[in-house]
Amino acid sequence: MEDYKGKVAVITGGASGIGFGIALALGQKGCNIVITDINVKAGKAAEIKLNEEGIKASFIEHDISNENSWDTAIEMIKLKFSEVHYLFNNAGIVNRAVPLNKMIIKDWQWVLGVNLWGPLFGLRKFTELMDGQAVQGRIITTASTAAVAPFSKWAAYSVSKAAVVRLVENYQAEANLYKKDKVKYSVVMPGVVETNIFNSELNRPSEYANSDVPPKEIIAKGAGTAEGDTAGKISVEKAVERILKQIDYGYTYIYTHRDLTAMLIIEQASAMLLNKAPVDQLVVDYAYYAKKMQR
Ligand code: NAD
């Protein structure tokens, strides 16, 4: 079991959704929390909410796709804490659903910039930081079930998350090869969790704007409704409980919908080995598997 009391956890994308849920849960266990986020308004509001719960939490403005922004954030963290025990390399975005031939290069640049370069900077910077500390650290990076098989209309997201899984695996593999045990690496592959992620387009930076398609707010139906249940959607609290339990077990691969993700991994692996058509997560009957397999 991890003992979070008195430790320091940095959580990117901590202003909302799974990141905020982790901040709350760890803060309640006595951990010192640093949330970072590109959304300053939401970040400051999250800091106040956490403080009101009696949690020692502070917010830092941070764009994970920008290397200098990581350096600035780390300098600010070092002013406050001599050691960091956990990095939750969590922030991410989803672009609008669009077929490959309708995607513009700015769609790819925005998604890969945040979802691939963001975690890569986090792994590089915090591995270096934690390697130099006396205590051991853990870096828990968030990918997605979208990583394990193609996903029509969400190609950039699926590609970015597949790359993140392999990135974390390479970090852990090299740590094993060179017998470096200062940092333990994990990758989280959530299924559908009730968060604000489908509204990422509303905060898309202007340099990546797609003027053809103005973003519209999406009001998603929650866990427990027919629409929410279709993909086995679960609440942030449930997802965080599952993630923290697997961190306690010391797992490298962490799931929120283990059986659903396992089914996709097996079907995709069999497609590769038997030369069948790749699995398309857009048309997979999630409802069937979610009901049957969700644990
Ligand atoms: P969310 O939108 O509720 O939270 C993501 C946070 O990241 C937001 O506060 C946002 O402002 C922040 N962010 C966006 N771009 C950023 C940037 N460039 N720099 C710093 N912060 C930035 O979404 P969530 O669902 O909690 O997402 C957390 C992680 O979980 C993401 O990596 C996402 O891909 C992954 N995930 C989510 C689901 C799901 O169903 N919700 C499923 C699989 C994976």
- What would the pLDDT profile of 247-295 be if each residue is shown by its tens digit? 999 999 999 999 899 999 999 999 999 999 999 999 987 776 666 665 4
**55 domain residue, yes or no:** yes
Q: What pLDDT, on a 0 to 100 scale, did the predictor assign at position 225?
A: 66
Residue 229 is predicted with a pLDDT of 61
pLDDT of residue 46 exceeding 80, the answer is yes
Q: Are 74 and 44 in contact, with CB atoms under 8 Å apart?
A: no
Ligand 1 neighbours, Cβ below 6 Å, are 12-13, 15-19, 37-39, 42, 62-65, 90-93, 114, 118, 142, 144, 190, 192-193, 195-197, 200, 203
Q: How far is the CA of 89 from the centre of ligand 1 (A)?
A: 10
pLDDT of residue 213: 65
Active site residue 157: yes
Q: How many domains does the chain contain in total? A: 1
| 31 in any annotated domain | yes
- Do residues 143 and 187 lie in contact, with contact meaning Cβ atoms separated by under 8 Å? yes
Ligand 1 centroid – CA 134 distance (Å):
31
CA of 277 to the centre of ligand 1 (A): 30
Which CATH number covers residue 59?
A: 3.40.50.720
Separation between Cα atoms, residue 207 and residue 224, nearest integer Å? 38
- Considering the domain boundaries, does residue 110 fall inside one? yes
Residue 3 within a domain: no
Residue among 63, 94, 102 nearest 158 (CA): 94
In angstroms, what CA-CA distances link 277 with 153, 163, 289? 17, 21, 20
Convert the pLDDT of each residue in 49-66 to its tens digit.
999 999 999 999 999 999
Mean pLDDT to the nearest integer, 15-34: 98
Reported confidence tier of residue 236, pLDDT bands at 50, 70, 90: very high
Q: Cβ(244)–Cβ(277) under 8 Å?
A: no
Is 1 within a domain? no
153 has pLDDT over 90? yes
Spacing, Cα 90 to ligand 1 middle (Å):
7
Between the alpha carbon of residue 238 and those of residues 77, 192, 245, the distances in Å are 29, 11, 11
Q: What would the mean pLDDT of 222-226 be, rounded to a whole number?
A: 63
Mutate to test the pocket of ligand 1, among 39, 61, 186, 195 (most ligand atoms within 8 A of CB): 195
- Structure confidence at residue 63 (pLDDT): 98
- What confidence score (pLDDT) does residue 212 get? 66
Domain that holds residue 110: 8-294
Q: pLDDT tens digits for 91-117?
A: 999 998 999 999 999 999 999 999 999
Instruction: Tell me if 121 is assigned to some domain.
Output: yes
Q: Which of 4, 157, 255, 289 is catalytic?
A: 157
